[in-house]
């Protein structure tokens, strides 16, 4: 599950299809127990309940009938408080048990209208089943017999629920959020020029550049708790655990709560780190917009690094075997992230050959889209 955009608003993952299915089957079992000696008629409230009705009917093992009534109470993302009966019932319901199937009950205005509609139908009994219920805003002293999932007062879409017509077809439930940030993973092999480009792009797009190397050096130099912990692993020649690295990144993000977004440079390096980053951003109602990767042939980069080694003083830039080994590490461990982001349709490859200005122009074209 990843964030979705409907019209002008963003929605973050909230309730999975699996959890919805579990709630539906529990409700169907309860209703079946209560109606074991009769044939109830299920009445779905359109439009939002159509998926719920279909699934609960499939989950119900006894004999039953089904019909629909259409009411309207929502415009945009707020309840108008005005209920209109748009489509009435034609069935003779006298002496029948009626199970109303609602997608969601919040203030209770729609529920009140439902009770009014069926008041004079001479029913045997009327029962209410709602998949989602918002107890914090429910204002009516009316009974609800079956509740699938109680949720806070947040606007949701998916599984039949919509935002101005869109989102009903989503299998999962998504919650309204605000897309405040543009978050980019800048990616590429050693010597591709990520650092140079990040400095240019952060100024152009007013983003915060977070370099894993800079973050490590800062924490170690300033002897922060995380820096000391990281150094303890490094001194033993061990890899710094993902948990330590992601906590350093979290701290950097938290320092910049008013940022327009971030360029992550040198992180994530593994799929587990990418998943940890996704989980952290999801908690904040954010996500990675895309991985933008500089693509350069290995032989060209080897030559570039050897030339840099003439002036950089870095021993690993002066030994071709060491450079090749770094590329091997990159290809076997880090490059797998390309597939991780490709699977989310978030991978953007950019030709990394040319002048700094030419490459910046290509990268900017992608940033503009994101």
How is residue 62 annotated by DSSP? Answer: S
Q: pLDDT tens, 151-196?
A: 999 899 999 999 999 999 999 999 987 656 789 999 877 777 788 8
- Catalytic residue from among 127, 202, 269, 346: 269
Reported as type and span, the H/E element at residue 183 is strand 182-187
User: Which of 180, 250, 326, 362 is labelled catalytic?
Assistant: 326
What is the CATH superfamily name and number for domain 182-369? Answer: P-loop containing nucleotide triphosphate hydrolases (3.40.50.300)
**Residue 314 is among the residues annotated as catalytic for this protein:** yes
Distance CA 196, CA 47 (A): 53
Residue 67: DSSP 8-state: E
Question: Could you give the residue range(s) of every CATH 3.40.50.300 domain in the chain?
Answer: 182-369
Residue 217 among the catalytic residues: no
Residue 236 in tokens: 């033993």
SS (H, E, C) 100-166: EEEEEECCCHHHHHHHHHHCCCCCCEEEEEEEEECCCCCCCCCCCCEEEEECCCCCEEECCECECCE
All CATH 3.40.50.2020 domain ranges in the chain, comma separated: 4-177
d(CA 290, CA 363) in angstroms, rounded, equals 12
- CB contact set of 102 (below 8 Å; sequence gap of 6+): 45, 49, 110, 111, 114, 128, 129, 130, 131
Among candidate residues 296, 306, 20, the one with its CA nearest the CA of residue 158: 20
Residues 231, 284, 308, 322: which is the catalytic one? 308
Q: What is the pLDDT along the chain (370 residues), one digit of tens a residue?
A: 567 888 878 888 899 999 999 999 999 999 999 999 899 999 998 889 999 999 999 999 999 999 988 875 555 555 555 545 546 677 888 999 999 999 999 999 888 888 888 888 899 999 999 999 999 999 888 999 999 999 999 899 999 999 999 999 999 999 987 656 789 999 877 777 788 888 999 999 999 999 888 888 899 999 999 889 988 988 887 778 888 888 888 888 888 877 888 999 888 888 888 999 998 888 777 889 999 988 877 777 777 767 776 676 666 666 777 777 777 767 776 678 888 999 999 999 888 788 889 988 998 999 888 8
Residue 59 CA to chain centroid, in angstroms? 28
pTM value surpassing 0.85: no
Q: Which of 194, 202, 304, 346 is catalytic?
A: 194
Catalytic residue among 84, 139, 314, 333: 314
4-177 CATH pick, 3.90.76.10, 1.10.3720.10, 1.20.120.160, 3.40.50.2020:
3.40.50.2020
| pLDDT score of 86 | 46
281, containing H or E segment: helix 271-283
> Which residue, among 328, 310, 330, has the nearest Cα to 319 in the 3D structure?
310
Active site residue 194: yes
Is 58 among the catalytic positions? no
Q: Is 308 a catalytic residue?
A: yes
Of 23, 44, 56, nearest in space to 148 by CA: 23
- Pairwise CA distance, residues 222 & 219, whole Å: 5
Q: How many CB atoms lie within 10 A of CB 265?
A: 24
């Amino acid at each position: 599950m990843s964030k979705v955009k409907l019209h002008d608003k963003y929605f973050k993952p909230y309730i999975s299809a699996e959890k919805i299915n579990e709630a539906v089957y529990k409700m169907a079992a309860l209703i079946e127990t209560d109606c074991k000696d009769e044939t109830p008629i299920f009445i779905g409230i359109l439009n939002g309940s159509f998926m719920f009705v279909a699934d609960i009917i499939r989950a119900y093992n006894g004999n039953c009938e089904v019909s629909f009534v259409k009411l309207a109470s929502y415009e945009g993302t707020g309840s108008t408080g005005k209920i209109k009966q748009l489509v009435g019932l034609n069935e003779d319901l006298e002496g029948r048990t009626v199970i109303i199937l609602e997608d969601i009950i919040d203030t209770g205005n729609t529920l009140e209208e439902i009770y009014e509609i069926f008041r004079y139908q001479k029913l045997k009994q009327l029962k209410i089943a709602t998949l989602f219920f918002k107890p914090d805003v429910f204002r009516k002293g009316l009974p609800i017999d079956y509740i699938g999932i109680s949720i806070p007062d947040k606007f949701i879409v998916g599984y039949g629920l919509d935002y101005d017509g869109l989102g009903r077809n989503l299998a999962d439930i998504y919650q309204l959020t605000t897309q405040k940030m543009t978050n980019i993973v800048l990616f590429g092999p050693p010597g591709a020029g990520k650092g140079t480009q990040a400095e240019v792009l952060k100024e152009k797009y007013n983003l915060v550049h977070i370099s894993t190397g800079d973050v490590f050096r800062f924490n170690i130099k300033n002897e922060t708790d995380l820096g000391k912990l990281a150094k303890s692993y490094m001194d033993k020649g061990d890899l710094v655990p993902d948990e330590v690295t992601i906590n350093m990144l979290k701290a950097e993000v938290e320092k910049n709560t008013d940022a327009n977004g971030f360029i992550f440079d040198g992180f994530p390096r593994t799929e587990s780190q990418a998943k940890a980053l996704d989980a952290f951003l999801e908690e904040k109602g954010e996500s990675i917009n895309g991985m933008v990767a500089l693509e350069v042939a290995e032989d060209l980069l080897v030559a570039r690094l050897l030339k840099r080694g003439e002036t950089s003083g870095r021993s690993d830039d002066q030994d071709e075997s060491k450079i090749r080994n770094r590329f091997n590490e990159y290809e076997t461990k880090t490059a797998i992230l390309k597939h991780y982001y490709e699977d989310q349709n978030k991978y953007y490859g950019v030709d990394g050959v040319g002048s700094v200005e030419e490459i910046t122009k290509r990268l900017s074209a992608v940033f503009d889209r994101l």
